[in-house]
Structure 1
């Protein structure tokens, strides 16, 4: 893919070393943009100065929500190399999301090439402080100006970059989770396996409810029976029960997380049995009470690993591992982040250097 580069004439002031970066607070000087039109396909791939995107008020994304996105990171190693982590998996998931929403797919090699070239262009923005990274947000949306429900005739694919700090500035600490039994996140045949904005918008009500009750995140149950555990907030979730790992299967209602897949590979390489199965919330709470539930954690790109210290389901509460980060949870976090930052040998072949 040929990518035209238009350099910004005025560069932004980069955050100073040691400055708190937050998450999504700063954006780099450039962004990637590519257009799709029916009858022409993808065209005009370009890296241009970061800035507003002109939109017609009738742009279909604003009315019918044809929109998908991804999230991945670039890391600066101690020897000053820049690494991407499994971008091809994000490319495949992006294609699956677009296919479900009747949007054009971006070829895997073009997705990876666009990400790689943009990061290479902005490599000075990749922070070097421990725990920091460059967050990469590819997204696509319908641009056709029309008020009518049908697949749009034009789309825009954009990638923006944001230097981010450690998700947990004070370390990896357990969180309190509320099990949601009123709202549902996804149902079979729906868009639960896609990464689209509508899924996240629909989840906000439950998140607000949980926060008002003093909980950090929501644990979603399945949308049919309101019985089986699926995801935590915007993350996949795993439970260690009697020295075995349990996590919901990716069978249409759960997002196939890149971090989830990586953690499963690591666990299996360590000899753990990983059960990808429908786990009933009643069985999970029982395991919490009889202490066979040893550890629990969410997995995702932003936080990597988020240990769970407490679960509340209706009027029932359980504390997990005395509300402390479990030994396995911490080891998984240290191992995966070690691979991502180049501190641990990547025996899985997951990292890709940006030259």
Structure 2
């Protein structure tokens, strides 16, 4: 293996970006002859594997994303919703004909990595340690079948803003020439191919000075589904009559853990939360009932939407400032991930800082 020089954080949170720097260690395990090895703590370094590794030819790969945060009022580091990630990782593995991890291995790997690299969890507001578990097929074969050998890795990256623009509000581009997922596909699991297939649409959005794609349904291109790497919420109405709406999980949308967190936090505030189809036309209607739009995901947190542009040239400015409910839910999300708001059971794993 060839060692790669890493940048260790000394002034964490200063110009980190997203996914450009990495912590010093990786946790690894291998699946061979029908069984997983134990976990190993290794230095972060380049991998070596066969040019015939099946992941490069048939794309058998899945991943997860979660974060560790410095607690506001203690020396602890808080890993958020790791148990939910572990369950979704197993579900993704099953869909992609990959072996499940042994019970507890996912959580043990995440705890171990954060523990050995705890000094690299940044502390500046808006920053965190992004944790990336991944499994991929590394059997050397060109046979068109599921691999029989796999690698499991967990790596970590100190991060701040998910968006390269650094904007606090995002612009989204809705287009109908590409689709993200259809019923029966892989849209509701976290496989790498979903993201590869979305890159052309992401590049198209960026050419239109937008931060993200706003995906529409595969059949009619009429209903909002999700953003490029985030789920979608809209606020219908305002004041005491305001309702929070997100598209239902019907097989084409990734069941995001930030989405689930927002639904719980909204319920705590007594808000009406509905899971129902959202028409793009209603979102684009300046005089219509939709008053706020926001995206949410592990990497980005709660991201208010400033503008939506379509490939037909239709445009709506949602607002130059986050709407009141968006701002409240964004603040609640930050509070619960940093230990200032009571979490639900199994939301938090605590690591001594």
TM-score (norm 1): 0.91
The alignment's C-alpha RMSD in Å is 2.1
Aligned equivalent of 2:269: 270
Deviations 1:22-64 (A, max 9, x none): 211221111000011233x111321111111111000000000
Residue 316 (structure 1) aligned to one of 304, 314, 334: 314
Runs of 4+ in structure 1 off by over 6 angstroms are 168-172
Report the alpha carbon displacement of residue 291 of structure 1 after superposing the two structures with TM: 4.0
Secondary structure of 1:289 counterpart? coil
Mapped to 2, the partners of 1:174 and 1:30 lie a distance apart of: 33
User: Deviations 1:146-198 (Å, cap 9, x if unpaired)?
Assistant: 00211101000000011112447998732221111111000000000111111
Q: Deviations over 1:75-95 (max 9, x none)?
A: 112321111111001011111
Residue number among 75, 79, 83 corresponding to 2:69 in the alignment: 75
For residues 94-126 of structure 1, the C-alpha deviation after alignment (integer angstroms, 9 at most, x for no partner) is 111111100011245221111001111111111
Provide structure 1 residue ranges, at least 5 long, that are not aligned to the other structure: 1-8
**Separation in 2 of the partners of 1:146 and 1:44?**
24
1:262 partner SS: helix
Structure possessing the higher relative contact order (Cα contacts under 8 Å, 6 or more residues apart): 2
- In structure 1, distance between residues paired with 2:175 and 2:323: 24
Q: Is the 8 A contact 1:178 1:215 kept in 2?
A: yes
1:165 aligns with 2:144: no
- Give the number of equivalent residue pairs: 343
Q: What is the correspondence of 1:31-42 to structure 2 with a 5 Å cutoff? A: 31-39=26-34, 41-42=35-36
> 336, 349, 353: which is aligned to 1:352?
349
Change (3 A) 1:166 1:348: farther
Q: Is the 8 A contact 2:50 2:140 kept in 1?
A: yes
| Distance in 2 (alpha carbons) for counterparts of 1:345 and 1:44 | 34
| DSSP 3-state at the match of 2:271 | coil
Equivalents in 2 of 1:130, 1:168: separation in Å?
Answer: 16
Cα contact 1:172–1:307 (8 A) shared by 2:
no
Deviation at 1:225, TM superposition (A): 2.1
Structure 1 residues 277 and 30, CA gap change in structure 2 (3 angstroms): same
Q: Judge which range, 148-157 or 175-184, deviates more.
A: 175-184
Matches within 5 A, 1:335-350: 335-346=332-343, 350=347
Residue aligned with 2:75, SS:
coil
Shift of 1:283: 3.1
CA distance in 2, matches of 1:60, 1:196: 15
Shift of 1:346: 2.9
3-state SS in 2 of match to 1:114: helix
> TM-score by structure 2 length?
0.92
